Structure 1
Amino acid sequence: MAGVLCEPCYNKCESCSNATACDYCKPGYTGRNCDFATTCSSNYCTCSSANTCGACIGAYYNTSNNCQDKCNENCSSCTARTNCSSCNPGRYGTLCERVCSNRCRNGTCNKFDGTCICSENFAGPNCDQCNVGMFGVNCDESCSLRCNTTFCRRADGYCTCIANFEGDSCENCISGRYGPSCEHICSSGCVAGTCNKADGKCLCRSYFLGEKCDVCIVGQFGANCETNCSIGCHTRACSIIDGNCSCSHNFTGPKCDQCRVGMYGPFCNHTCSVGCVNNICDTENGTCTCYQNFTGKTCDQCEVGKYGMSCEYNCSVGCVFNTCDKNDGTCACLAHFTGPACDVCVYGLFGHNCSSECSPNCAQQACNQVSGKCSSCKDGFYGSQCEMRCMNNCAKCTSNDSCSEGNS
């Protein structure tokens, strides 16, 4: 009863209801207070008289037979051969026929259902399971930290892996991953996309180099290093990510794949014509929009009738077809014209088209090719074109009444 202090029985009592009244005596004693020594009829019982067993002790039963009947070998006490009251250590069940799990602490378990307090690392009502996170025959091995749950198969530690891991115990990175936590991706330059799980080193595909095959060979860039760096990149080297680079002469743009203003051609080594508006031309073939007086696909020619660096000069009207050399204006001459540029009338002619004859009164028939004015007059004539006669007997005059030299 709760709150009642239990006192010890008299030292010769097996059991008692109070300190002075024994219910059963220990073997070899009898009497109300078990004060008298006696010999029971059996060594396996307690008795109140020599010939009467009060209760069986040990693994024996049946007081009517002086406790001579032995319990089942697995029982520590029983009321009948087929009904064990308690089991030997390590046994449980009605006949104590079942063995407690060897993972039960101290090897003992509940007689009825085998439940017990488990040894270290074991769990379950019958201690036949491993603690969470453990596996092995003795549940002394830890499940991999890479298991998707805290449980793994007891026999071999197999489990479902967290992302990026594989293997029976999630001990390996999946293909294409490496690092302590498989957090790194093998370079796309690795053959078959696989690399050493510890450090990422691998065998390289074409166009890649480096221990991890994460660098393009010189002159290549892109995810697969299959794109050529621009020929405009200095030393042909460029960023493996986007192809950007430092430019060689005459190239421009982040990837140096464009010609500088005023240049064109595959190597940007040709100059746009001075006839191109704003010095801009197609970077492939040099074609452009022309300034006034220029013509041609690349505006490198003067329009008909023009010449000079900027096509600013007119070809002479004496040029055949009004066409002359772009640089110096020389040309083939029409009739009546002469000179390298056909800008001079042949001797004795003058006028816009050199179609007029100098006055026959001009000395040596020489006159100004524009106005026709005589350089000098023959004797006896005067005027701009020597069209006037001097007075009689006057060889040189400037007017009709002014004679500077008479006839001889």
Structure 2
Amino acid sequence: MVKEPAQGAIWPCHIIYTLCMFELVCNTPGEVDERCKVDCACCKDGKCGQGKYFSSDECTLGCIDGYRGARCYKRCTHNCTKCERHSDVDNCIACNDGYYPGSARDCTSKCLPGCKTCTSGTTCTSCMEGFYDINNKCNRSCPFNCITCSSNNDCGSCKDGYYKGYQNDNINFPLLNDCTYKCRDNCLRCSSYDRCSLCKTGFYGPNCEKNCSTGCLSNSCDMHTGNCTCFPTFAGVTCDKCKTGQYGNLCDQQCSVGCKSNVCERKSGNCKDGCIVDTIIGDKC
């Protein structure tokens, strides 16, 4: 740890520079994140303690990505996702997608429009979704329904609602890998016509051919079982029954107070088990 100089003494320049790098005596670029001051939150693996420059809270294994300093309180600036820990200027090691360190090493230099990552303004290392041809600066667009692709007719993944393969899974049709074909009507995401992985809201079943119960909250249910969370007046694992004491298509009407056990037919409201006393008559008591 560095001790304060005696009264009237002046720190040598190399000491001041060192303290600057460790953010002890001067303001260096980077916003202080107050959350990092609690439980060593920005230290790698949460490890901190006494170190070379602080009696406590010094990060012993370094900083998590995006932070720097001896105690890792300061954010890397601009578009840095990782920067040198003990530098008094921006020295970015890694940048957000779409940027590269550049000559200033501050990640303010932009990649070409179709590049996801790059090492310079002319060299892409990966393409953004919807673009391909890394050798030509990712300047070519994928087919309309593709998320990623390697050529104009070979998609890596499709947008929701489309798949690559055979039309209707019929091998007598041409095999197309450009995400031309549509999933079934009620299927939001599929890998083939008969393999749905996500149903549209309100549907369930292998091919999303069944309707979720009216009683399902937000009209949403488990794709495989139809189970769901119920509105307050519904009951059952699939919410297809009325809660005791309710009836009607929407289970929004109350059974007669005269019904035995407070139970009545869902459609008619007639008491299932009769009336609570013999002196009360009528189907609905």
Between Structure 1 and Structure 2, the one with more helix by share is 2
Q: Place the TM-score, normalised by the shorter chain, in its bin.
A: 0.3 to 0.5
